């Protein structure tokens, strides 16, 4: 049953959020996270702002919080069922640069000790206190930047870099659950052959999915042939390729040009001296959050 005069019925809320009506009722009854109005017939009626509220619950639970804890955070962040609120700004503003830097340092210290438990605890705190976009921009990316610098200075071993990358990859992909569902336009995300740097692309996908896009993630080291046949099958609105090193793209210029003739292609990362116009692609801003917002 669709939305009428601004109200949503439980079926519509379930469709928009990917949560079952039973779960929506459970969150209402157990935690008071949702406070629907009722029709004369007693049917629940929800506001648009409840969509953001449910998505925030899912985000927090996917980030590792227990439902009761997630509900506490949501209720703290969101004024009871007023106009559609983006919860994050208020919460995020509360976290000054210093606090974010402190989270980066604690995360770094835990990961360099191979201390998974402490690293998870720090990440729990990050995703409880910040929206996904801000967590990416203010903690995850700055941490990865430092990791790269410390690796190039020989202060971090390849093993530490691999451990850290995999802990972050798992947490970010944990937040990606369900990014393929919904009704928004579809984006196919991949790295070219030989490219293993995918954290930027995953972060990009998370921001896209929070802006209503559906994501089909092919990830690291994807052959162009299989990417092209997948595009024929899925007919996405856009294909996003991410490469750290333009040499990963150069051997595939012809294939990329052909692909771009059939579907919009955007490239994130380093294009080097490759000319996006000549390839028929769109070069994305290097900031993955801004690039996703602009897509
Ligand atoms: C994590 C990491 C790895 C992990 C990747 C794990 C994973 N699953 O992704 C592993 C361990 C696999 C790895 C391997 C290697 N790495 Co490495 N790695 C990093 C590290 C520390 C973080 C990368 C990252 O995700 N950053 C997060 C992104 C988003 O942050 P960003 O830098 O702000 O964003 C830039 C790009 O990411 C890009 N971008 C990337 N993806 C996307 C996506 C979109 C959509 C958009 C819009 C933008 C974008 O745009 C930004 C500007 O260019 C970087 C250091 C760094 N400074 O980033 C080194 C770094 C990228 N690695 C480097 C190197 C040399 C390697 C190896 C060759 C090392 C080796 N000898 O084995 C291999 C190559 C593997 C391969 N075939 O691709 C060099 C790259 C130098 C270069 N210019 O090519 C760096 C810069 C380290 C250094 N300081 O020298 N690495």
**Mutational test site, ligand 1, from 163, 167, 200, 239, max ligand atoms within 8 Å of CB:** 200
Q: Which residue has the higher pLDDT, 71 or 232?
A: 232
Q: Which two tokens stand for residue 165?
A: 């990358």
Ligand 1 near 162 CB (within 6 A): yes
Quote the ligand 1 centre to 194 CA distance (angstroms).
12
Domain extents in the chain? 10-88, 92-175, 186-294
167: Cα within 13 Å, side-chain hemisphere: 25
Query: Is any atom of ligand 1 closer than 6 Å to the C-beta of 165?
Result: yes
pLDDT score, position 48: 81
Q: Residue 147: which H helix or E strand, with range?
A: helix 141-152
Give the model's confidence band at 286: pLDDT under 50 very low, under 70 low, under 90 confident, else very high. confident
Interval 24-78: pLDDT, tens: 988 888 888 888 888 878 888 888 888 888 888 887 777 677 788 788 778 777 6
243 touches ligand 1 (CB under 6 Å): no
Give the mean pLDDT of the chain: 86
Kindly state if the Cβ of 141 falls inside 6 Å of ligand 1.
Answer: yes
Average pLDDT rounded to a whole number, residues 214-230:
96
**Sign of dihedral through CA atoms 157, 171, 94, 88?**
positive
pLDDT tens for residues 134-155? 899 999 999 999 999 999 999 9
User: For residue 183, what are the contacts with CB-CB under 8 A and spacing of at least 6?
Assistant: 15, 16, 214
Q: Kind and range of the H or E element at 160?
A: helix 158-175
4 CA to centre of ligand 1 in angstroms: 48
Assigned CATH class of 10-88: mainly alpha
Bridge partners of 37, per DSSP, are 45
Q: How far is CA 91 from CA 71, 128, 132, in A?
A: 15, 10, 12
Task: Kindly state which CATH superfamily the domain 186-294 is placed in.
Answer: Cobalamin-binding domain (3.40.50.280)
**CB of 167 closer than 6 angstroms to any ligand 1 atom:** no
What distance in Å separates the CA atoms of residue 239 and residue 186, rounded to the nearest whole number? 9
pLDDT number for residue 94: 53
Q: How would you write 30-98 as a 3-class SS string?
A: HHCCCCCEECCCCCEEECCHHHHHHHHHHHHHHCCCCHHHHHHHHHHHCCCCCCCCCHHHHHHHCCCHH
Fold of 92-175: 1.10.1240
């Amino acid at each position: 049953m669709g939305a009428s005069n601004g109200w949503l019925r439980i079926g519509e809320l379930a469709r928009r959020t990917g949560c079952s009506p039973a779960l929506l009722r459970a969150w209402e009854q157990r935690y008071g996270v949702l406070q629907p109005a009722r029709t004369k017939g007693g049917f629940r009626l929800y506001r648009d702002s409840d969509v953001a509220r449910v998505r925030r619950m899912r985000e927090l639970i996917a980030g590792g919080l227990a439902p009761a804890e997630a509900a506490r955070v949501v209720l703290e962040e969101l004024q009871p069922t007023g106009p559609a609120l983006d919860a994050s700004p208020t919460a995020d503003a509360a976290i000054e640069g210093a606090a974010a830097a402190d989270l980066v340092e604690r995360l770094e210290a835990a990961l360099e000790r191979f201390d998974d438990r402490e690293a998870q605890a720090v990440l729990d705190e990050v995703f409880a206190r910040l929206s996904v976009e801000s967590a990416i921009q203010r903690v995850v990316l700055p941490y990865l930047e430092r990791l790269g610098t410390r690796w190039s200075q020989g202060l971090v071993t390849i093993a530490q870099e691999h451990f850290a990358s995999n802990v972050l990859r798992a947490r970010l992909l944990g937040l990606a659950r369900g990014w393929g569902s919904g009704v928004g336009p579809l984006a196919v995300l991949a790295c070219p052959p030989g490219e293993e740097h995918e954290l930027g692309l995953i972060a990009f996908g998370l921001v896209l999915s929070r802006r209503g896009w559906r994501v089909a993630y092919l990830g690291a080291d994807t052959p162009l042939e299989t990417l092209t046949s997948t595009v024929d099958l899925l007919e996405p609105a856009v294909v996003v390729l991410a490469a750290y090193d333009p040499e990963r793209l150069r051997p595939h210029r012809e294939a990329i040009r052909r692909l771009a003739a059939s579907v919009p292609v955007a490239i994130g990362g380093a294009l080097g001296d490759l000319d996006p116009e000549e390839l028929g692609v769109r070069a994305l801003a290097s900031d993955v959050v801004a690039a996703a917002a602009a897509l």
